[in-house]
Copies of this chain bind each other. A is one copy, B any other.
Amino acid sequence: MTTETLNIREMCDAFDVTARTLRFYEAKELLFPIREGQKRLFTKRDRARLKLILRGKRFGFSLEEIRQLLDLYHMDDGQEAQLSKSYVLAEQHLADMEAQKAELEEAIGELKEQMAWGAKKLAELAGKKNAAA
């Protein structure tokens, strides 16, 4: 029995989020934990979704944008209209992400340049100190 579902505390620990966050995501219809009586039980699907949510956040997407994207990932067959809608959304997101990647690479390059300049300056200063001693 490899604990098919997680309770809220286990979920928090597994993903390093607070219970409040999980409930908030449920309220926003990003997660759909099942209920055992009153309590929430997070399924494998919820875990997959949360992983994508947190990733989306790191890339600057809003929860609402993420919610829409998630539909593509857990789309079970038989929802033709939704599927093609999700597909278009995904294309847009993909474009965003590839643009972001390009810019990120540029930014990394520039930051490295600046750091090289800084390192040189620091070396010079260290040199002066030694010369003075």
Q: Interface residues, chain A, CB within 8 Å of chain B? A: 55, 58-60, 72-73, 75, 77, 80, 83-84, 86-87, 90-91, 93-94, 97-98, 100-101, 103-105, 107-108, 111-112, 114-115, 118-119, 121-122, 125
Contact = CB atoms under 8 A, between A and B. Distances in A.
How many subunits of this chain does the assembly comprise?
2
Contact of A94 (B77, B86, B101, B111): B111
Given A84-B122, A122-B84, A90 B104 contact: no
Q: Is the interface of A mostly helix, strand, loop or mixed?
A: helix
B91 A125 contact: no
Contacts of A93: 111
A101 B104 contact: yes
A94 B77 CA distance: 42
A73 B117 CA distance: 10
